[in-house]
Amino acid sequence: MTQKTWLITGISSGLGQALAQTVIERGDRVIGTFRQQSQIDAFNDLYQNRAIGIKLDLTNSTEIQDAFEWIKSNIGKLDVLVNNAGLGFAGAIEETSDAETRAVFEANFFGVLNLTKAFLPLFRQQKSGHIIQISSHGGFKAFAGFGIYNASKFALEGFSEALAQEIAPLGIKLTIVEPGPFRTNFAGSSLKFAEQTIDDYLVTAGAFRERLKSVNGMQEGDPHKAATAIYNLTSLDTPPLRLPLGKVAVHSLTSKLASVQTDLDSYRDVAEGSVY
Examine the residue annotation and report whether 153 is marked as an active-site residue of this protein.
yes
The whole domain housing 261 covers: 5-273
93 residue type, one letter:
I
Integer Cα distance of 2 and 6 in angstroms: 13
Which residue in 4, 12, 135, 173 is the catalytic one?
135
pLDDT in single tens digits along all 276 residues of the chain: 689 999 999 999 889 999 999 999 999 999 999 989 999 999 999 998 889 999 999 999 999 999 999 999 999 999 999 999 999 999 999 999 999 999 999 999 999 999 999 999 999 999 999 999 999 999 999 999 999 999 999 999 999 999 999 999 999 999 999 999 875 555 446 689 999 999 999 999 999 888 887 666 556 668 899 999 999 999 999 999 999 999 999 999 999 999 999 999 999 999 888 766
∠ CA 235-164-9, nearest 5°, is 65
Q: What is the pLDDT of residue 89?
A: 95
Q: What is the pLDDT of residue 276?
A: 60
Which residue in 4, 141, 149, 252 is the catalytic one?
149
Integer Cα distance of 83 and 256 in angstroms: 25
Which residue in 4, 141, 153, 173 is the catalytic one?
153
Output DSSP code: residue 187: T
Which pairing describes strands 80-83 and 242-245: parallel, antiparallel, or unpaired?
unpaired
CATH code, 147: 3.40.50.720
Integer Cα distance of 239 and 260 in angstroms: 25
The answer to whether residues 180 and 220 touch, using CB atoms and an 8 Å cutoff, is: yes
What is the tally of structural domains in the chain? 1
Examine the residue annotation and report whether 135 is marked as an active-site residue of this protein.
yes
Examine the residue annotation and report whether 149 is marked as an active-site residue of this protein.
yes
Phi-psi region of 19 (alpha: psi -120 to 50; beta: other; left: phi over 0): alpha
**φ, ψ (nearest 5 deg) of residue 3:** -70, 135
